[in-house]
Amino acid sequence: MREFLLTDKDFSEIAARVYDTCGIVLGPHKKEMVYSRLARRIRANGLKSFEAYLSFLEENQDVEFNHFINAITTNLTSFFRENHHFDFLAKRIVPEIIARHKHDRKVRIWSAGCSTGEEPYSIAMTIANAFPGGWDVKVLATDLDSNVLDKASLGEYTASNVTGLDEDKLKKWFLRSADGAMYKVKPKLQSCIHFKRLNLLEPWPMKGPFDVIFCRNVLIYFDKETKDKLFEQYHDMLVPNGYLLIGHSETMGKEHLEFKNLGKTIYQKGQLNERV
């Protein structure tokens, strides 16, 4: 017998709150996941049911709502995940950026949905030695979950987290603990990354434009209407001919003629007169 009762009505209310807040769609197949993640919050607050938790959430929005959203959102990532994107960044995008910004020497990259930081640190490692001295290089790393942002900004990872990195990268970019169990990102690599909490459905405070946007394994949680809106916003935030990289299980509809599909979940912003 389950510890807490989760009725269909409770689940529908939870799903509605999550969708209204951050656009994530929780179908009926997510009910078990919702139970396991929110049961921890019910225990932590000394409550007896999901109905009681929803009432508690309503009465304690300021204190509990971040915990509620953080519990629901999924954060699965690794260094150089979908490595072909980083190869493309190094071999094609970086030379274009150097040509485009030879006068202002400014580079802007956005990791949207950065989770615990592996993606923005992978970006930083890829471009670290790519630009001549005197260039202004910044990576914006955002996520909805404040807990993972805290971990990302700290830059500390277990040995198992960094197993995919070769020894050269580990020596160059990380400080290893005496027992070899922990690795901390060196300040030099962290210096170009700015971590910030952002709900993609709320107004975006940054002005851009960005040379490339990584939004990988984030769009999969949204419905089509929300995805289409985000694709339009990303287009507006990119420089002409800038790039949008999405996750391997995500797609952009053919109706989005404002982007050119280059294959391997890589899209390039078209010219304004190509938009329909």
What residues have CB less than 8 Å from 28, skipping those under 6 apart?
11
Global pTM reads 0.82
d(CA 110, CA 131): 17
Report phi then psi at 114, rounded to 5.
-80, -10
Has residue 12 got a pLDDT over 80?
yes
Enumerate the active-site residues: 37, 143
Q: Which residue has the tokens 């999924």?
A: 74
CB atoms inside a 10 Å sphere around CB 130: 16
The pLDDT value recorded for residue 179 is 93
**173 within 8 A of 189, measured Cβ to Cβ:** yes
Q: How confident is the model at residue 276 (pLDDT cuts 50, 70, 90)?
A: very low
**163 within 8 A of 190, measured Cβ to Cβ:** no
Length of the chain: 276
Element (H, E) at 112: strand 106-112
Q: How confident is the model at residue 133 (pLDDT cuts 50, 70, 90)?
A: confident
The pLDDT tens digits of the residues spanning 70-91 come to: 788 766 688 999 999 999 999 9
Instruction: Calculate what percentage of the chain has a pLDDT beyond 90.
Output: 71
The pLDDT tens digits of the residues spanning 200-221 come to: 999 999 988 999 999 998 888 7
Has residue 274 got a pLDDT over 50?
no
